[in-house]
Structure 1
């Protein structure tokens, strides 16, 4: 049996999707996405967090929830339309800022007490993901929390297989990362790590 041909989506493809509509994957309205978002918030632990960095913010559906947990939130996305949508989603959060940054690239701001990466890593080529891991390692404050949330089903438009994407990223991080919490269902997985 032949495997499906992979046609990796690039930034132009994401830009086209967000130009067609503000919620191409129903992340604001789908029940499963709301459950995953709650798992991401629980993965951050209790209480407010001084500084959170969100990579791959998309339309800002997770960003709104993260803004309620952060004293300062920085988000970024490589699509200009997605960044605009995130800014709209965060319009009532003056402590939050959305950057248009195509990753991997230098990350905004200072060190962070938490970094959240959702539905991004398998769209990066392996070398790009390794570079991003080094950038994230430098951005994490000692004792910070790293939250990874990705689908576990395979898509024909990602650059890397979804299986074990979190493990591959943690191996590339080159910092000690201790698993703290895991939530999963048949479609996705949310993992939290404490980073020394």
Structure 2
């Protein structure tokens, strides 16, 4: 039975306290290949201001930073954020905040919002709130990049449900700029109308 509530911050803090790399972001060939595809989906585009929700220990953050003038990275786990800060030390364009998105969201507009492996942790109500946050924060012509595992989970959503529900929750006009599906994950890049 799937939970009907978003997974709480202490779930993630417990994971990162027990193991600084619980999903093997640093060492997994699968994760590295997925990150390669995630960066390739940006197609060399340079973003003025990007938001990464759920930065974990900063492995992907470090790579996304090369594509943004400013990158705001959020996570709910203090342990994960400490690792991400250490990994991105010296990258002056990256800032980190402990925040529970979508309940808490940074101010201002972004021309890239990255939701990699996070939306399926959210309840239906939080997905609706995320849609409103994205409507308010994503600049015209900006990109929303989603990457989600599509195998079985015990999270509130499957990867496919998460993407479909978020699409329904966003009211701003978007077009699908890229869609990829492997046997393990899906990648969706949506571009807001200019």
TM-score range normalised by the length of the shorter chain: over 0.9
Partner of 1:59: 57
Residues 77-156 of structure 1: pairs in structure 2 closer than 5 A: 77-156=75-154
State which of 186, 191, 196 in structure 1 corresponds to 2:188: 191
Question: Alpha-carbon deviations, 1:46-65, whole Å to 9, x = none?
Answer: 23211110011111111010
Instruction: Return the TM-score normalized by structure 1.
Output: 0.91
- Describe the SS at the equivalent of 2:89: coil
Structure 2 residue runs of 5 or longer lacking an equivalent are: none
Secondary structure of 1:86's aligned partner: helix
Aligned equivalent of 1:11: 9
Task: Give the deviation of 1:6 after TM superposition.
Answer: 3.6
Deviations 1:89-132 (A, max 9, x none): 21121110011001222422421111100111111111011101
Count of residue pairs brought into register by the alignment: 191
Which residue is 2:164 aligned to?
167
* TM-score, structure 2 as length reference: 0.92
Matching residue of 1:45: 43
Q: 1:37 to 1:93 in 2, by over 3 A?
A: same
Q: Matched residues in 2 for 1:183 and 1:10: separation? A: 29
Give runs of ≥4 in structure 1 deviating > 6 Å.
none
| 1:28 counterpart (22, 26, 29) | 26
**Gap regions ≥5 residues in structure 1:** none
CA offsets 1:121-169 (integer angstroms, 9 cap, x no match): 111111011101111111101000110001101212x112333321210
The answer as to whether partners of 2:7 and 2:122 remain within 8 angstroms in 1 is no
Q: Distance in 1 between matches of 2:90 and 2:83?
A: 13
Q: Which residue does 2:71 correspond to in 1?
A: 73
